[in-house]
């Protein structure tokens, strides 16, 4: 599309295919998509493509041999020809994009036969988009890339070319499911389930061409809001019948509909608690309605008391998901997926892996991460999250099994895309969207290799060294100038941008650091604190229980310690706070300098956009440094041992 950045799929990456002779064999809509992609490349670069012809002197053969739902494909190069075969059309589509990633290497020398298959069956993006612009939440809740890709002026967009381009981007990195509206379902959005389902169907048709199933966030109170009923009790036969009828009409409009996403009894959203029922009761009611059609309900586990008394130190938001859901293990239907945030709090720059993951062997769990950078710079700061997500997915939370293997219900990310010409607002934030898709396909993949892949596809090779230097350590840089040693939520309330060390300290949302003149941190030990550490299986319960064994980066998440407590690094807590905040600013300034030097190898418009954002990042990093260091200097009275000026 004119005026829209192609992200990691510029025409140039199709040159190796577009200059050669290709045969596409097979039938069906996804094979048609593969053929269209190759045809476009050949028209651009002079090659030839044929459909279902007899074997001949082809450079590339893309062939589907069946019609099953497999997403796997096999790729090999032998006797001067590259062959991609799949038993299902989705596999052929992914095989095509695999060849695109290989580039000329797909055609230079023999490649051993390798089969590629996704480790997780569901790789999903949740869009927090509102159909009508909400007076508080805006068009996209926690969105930092402009308006919605799907909705404008209170209705579905008429021109869906941009949605098609987006579907193409998502398929190219392995994403196969999208929820198209906010988990906080307001009155207008609720109607997408019934009289406005045709608008969802139009989006689903576009996504279908790239193997992506469409999902819908629904309100648990739909029988009340839409059906005129006097109850939404999940055990009421009339309510179950209403959901069965509504779901049948959804599938009549969208035969391959993926299912529902539900946020219930959380942050004011309605749920089964109003009727004395459990989360399993609520989820199973919807699972029953979806089961005849192969649909799934994604029931979010983000449930906690957001009306806490800050004086009560026994209540711990971190405990909430485990306390609510572990007693229900084994009670959820097989087509109900419990969607769990990767950490026990709320997408902070550093928090431990949620102990709920692995603690419910009788329940299908999906792990949710946040690509939109709510607490990590809001796409005004460079913060590549690949290393964070990789640490989470590799973490052996239960009996040595990593999170990536325990997420049997899939991997889900809150989307960071919008109608901005660069898709993600900050052009470098595209790396997070791409990395999510590739890690969802293979959770044990090396994120550094994925980063190199994205840089090469998006920028070519000339800027590679500089971009790697900017992005590779950017998550830890952001952590340095914002959140020390596992402390989170020191942000401005509401919009969550910029420092406010006490912003949530006396808030009912339950996110505290408990800093006083003697020390800092939250005691979550079993011996003297909230007991959260004991929710973990061995050995992690023992590791987190004591400040002597707790990892430095999580110390203040689990323990309240004196400012003079000596870390494993050899520094005191207070000196670590001072040092890292100065280091973080210096690293942000260095990243800005490196980007400035890439002006000759990055297109002018994109370079100017990022340069402008770097000015804001450096300004904000200095503000974080000065406010955080000043706060803890005034609390502790301990000067910086290096004699730097702290206000």
267 is catalytic: yes
Estimate the share of the chain in helix, then strand, then coil, as percent rounded to the nearest 5.
Answer: 40, 15, 45
Hunting for tokens 């299912």 — which residue is that?
259
Q: Of 126, 265, 288, 374, which is the active-site residue?
A: 374
Minimal CA–CA distance to 50: which of 38, 65, 67? 38
DSSP 254: -
Looking from the CA of 442 toward its CB, the CA atoms found within 13 Å total 11
Hunting for tokens 């899939």 — which residue is that?
410
Minimal CA–CA distance to 347: which of 491, 454, 150? 491
Q: How far apart are CA 214 and CA 602, in angstroms?
A: 35
Contacts of 242 (CB under 8 A, 6+ apart): 222, 223, 227, 229
265 is catalytic: no
Minimal CA–CA distance to 125: which of 387, 338, 433? 433
Q: Of 105, 195, 267, 399, which is the active-site residue?
A: 267
Long-range Cβ pairs for the range 504-508 (8 Å, 24+): 505/310, 506/310, 507/310, 508/306, 508/307, 508/308, 508/309, 508/310
Looking from the CA of 40 toward its CB, the CA atoms found within 13 Å total 12
3-state DSSP assignment of residue 144? coil
- Cβ of 12: how many Cβ atoms within 10 Å? 14
Q: How far apart are CA 123 and CA 438, in angstroms?
A: 9
Q: Answer yes or no: are the C-beta atoms of 279 and 303 closer than 8 Å.
A: yes
Hunting for tokens 């082809």 — which residue is that?
58
Q: Of 129, 346, 351, 587, which is the active-site residue?
A: 346
346 is catalytic: yes
Pairing of strands 364-370, 336-341: parallel
Q: Answer yes or no: are the C-beta atoms of 370 and 344 closer than 8 Å.
A: no
CB-based burial, 296-330: b 16+ in 10 Å, e otherwise: bbbbbbbbbeeebebeeeeebbbbbbbbbbeebee
Q: How far apart are CA 486 and CA 499, in angstroms?
A: 15
Burial class (CB in 10 A: 0-12, 13-18, 19+), 628: buried
Question: Which positions are annotated as active-site residues?
Answer: 267, 346, 374
């Amino acid at each position: 599309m004119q005026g829209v950045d192609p992200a990691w799929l510029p025409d140039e990456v199709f040159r190796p295919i577009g200059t050669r002779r290709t045969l596409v064999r097979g039938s069906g809509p996804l094979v048609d998509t593969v053929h269209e992609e190759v045809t476009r490349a050949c028209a651009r670069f002079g090659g030839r493509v044929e459909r279902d012809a007899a074997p001949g002197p082809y450079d590339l053969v893309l062939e589907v041999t069946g019609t099953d739902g497999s997403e796997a494909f096999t790729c090999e190069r032998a006797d001067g020809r590259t062959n991609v075969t799949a038993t299902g059309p989705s596999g052929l589509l992914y095989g095509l994009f695999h060849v695109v990633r290989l580039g000329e290497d797909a055609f230079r020398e023999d490649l051993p036969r390798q089969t590629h298959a996704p480790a997780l069956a569901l790789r999903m993006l949740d869009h927090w988009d509102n159909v009508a612009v909400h007076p508080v939440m805006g068009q996209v809740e926690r969105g930092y890339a402009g308006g919605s890709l799907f909705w404008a002026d209170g209705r579905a967009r008429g021109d869906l070319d941009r949605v098609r381009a987006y579907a193409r981007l998502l398929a190219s990195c392995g994403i196969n499911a999208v929820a198209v509206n906010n988990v906080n379902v307001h009155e207008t959005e609720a109607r997408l389930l019934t009289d406005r389902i045709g608008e969802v169907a139009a989006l689903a048709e576009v996504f279908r061409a790239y193997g992506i199933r469409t999902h819908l966030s629904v309100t648990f109170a739909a029988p009340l809001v839409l059906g005129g009923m006097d109850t939404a009790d999940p055990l009421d036969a009339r309510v179950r019948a209403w959901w069965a009828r509504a779901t049948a009409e959804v599938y009549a409009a969208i035969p391959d509909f993926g299912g529902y996403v539900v946020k219930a009894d959380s942050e004011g959203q309605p749920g089964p608690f109003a009727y004395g029922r459990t989360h399993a009761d609520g989820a199973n009611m919807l699972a029953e309605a979806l089961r005849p059609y192969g649909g799934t309900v994604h029931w979010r586990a983000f449930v906690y008391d957001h009306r806490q008394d800050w004086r009560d130190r026994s209540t711990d938001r971190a405990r909430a998901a485990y306390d609510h859901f572990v007693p229900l293990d084994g009670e959820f239907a097989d087509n109900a997926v419990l969607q769990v945030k990767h950490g026990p709090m709320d997408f902070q720059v550093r928090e431990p892996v949620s102990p709920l993951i692995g603690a419910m062997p009788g329940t299908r769990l999906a792990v949710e991460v946040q690509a939109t950078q709510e607490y990590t710079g809001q796409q005004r700061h460079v913060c590549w999250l690949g290393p964070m997500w990789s640490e989470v997915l590799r973490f052996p939370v239960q009996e040595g099994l990593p999170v990536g293997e325990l997420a049997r219900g899939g991997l889900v990310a809150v989307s960071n895309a919008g109608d901005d010409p660069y898709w993600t607002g900050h052009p470098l934030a595209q790396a997070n969207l791409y990395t999510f898709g590739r890690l969802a396909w293979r959770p044990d993949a090396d994120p550094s290799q994925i980063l190199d892949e994205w840089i090469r596809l998006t920028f070519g090779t000339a800027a590679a060294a500089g971009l790697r230097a900017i992005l590779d350590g950017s998550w830890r840089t952001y952590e340095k100038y914002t959140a020390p040693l596992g402390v989170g939520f020191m942000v401005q309330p509401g919009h969550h941008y910029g420092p406010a060390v006490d912003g949530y300290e006396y808030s009912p949302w339950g996110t505290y650091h408990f800093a006083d003149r003697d020390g800092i941190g939250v005691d979550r030990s079993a011996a003297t604190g909230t007991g959260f550490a004991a929710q973990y299986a061995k050995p992690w319960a023992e590791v987190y229980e004591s400040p002597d064994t707790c990892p430095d980066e999580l110390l203040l998440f689990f323990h309240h310690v004196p400012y003079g407590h000596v870390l494993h690094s050899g520094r005191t807590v207070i000196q670590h706070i001072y040092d890292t905040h100065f280091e973080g600013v210096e690293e942000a300034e260095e990243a800005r300098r490196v980007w400035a030097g890439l002006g000759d190898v990055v297109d002018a418009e994109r370079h100017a956009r990022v340069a402008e954002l770097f000015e804001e990042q450096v300004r904000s990093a200095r503000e974080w440094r000065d406010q955080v260091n000043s706060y803890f200097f005034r609390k502790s009275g301990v000067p910086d041992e290096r004699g730097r000026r702290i206000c």
